[in-house]
Amino acid sequence: MSAPIAKSQMAFELPKLSYIDTRWEEPDFQPAVEPAKESRLAAWIAALVETFRARRTRSRAFAELSVMTDRELFDVGMTRGDVARIFDDRYNKDLLLRAHGF
């Protein structure tokens, strides 16, 4: 059994196309943005700032451990003698070398 289909029912028209910005078609679409290249001076300043931040973080951690009582240090598995040794790089050379992959 077949239903009769008129030619007008089979024909279709393409929509009238015009340029549409992709932001309208895909609102979540974000064009790729290339990161700006840092100059050597900017990279040097960024490294310097990061060094100061790391030093300040280490200083705060040292100060916090220094004011702890012997009992509090024991609770975290340390002694008073361990505090200075943890922040002295001479004792941690093997750890630093392993971290840098040498």
Residue 96 near residue 89, CB atoms below 8 Å: yes
Cα(70)–Cα(28) distance, integer angstroms: 56
φ/ψ of 21, rounded to 5, equals -65, 140
Tell me the one-letter amino acid at 65. L
Cα(47)–Cα(45) distance, integer angstroms: 5
Q: What's 68's DSSP letter?
A: S
The model's pTM is 0.50
20-41 pLDDT, tens digit per residue, is 555 566 666 666 677 667 688 8
Q: What is the pLDDT of residue 60?
A: 93
Q: How far apart are the first and last CA of the chain?
A: 81
Cα(38)–Cα(46) distance, integer angstroms: 10
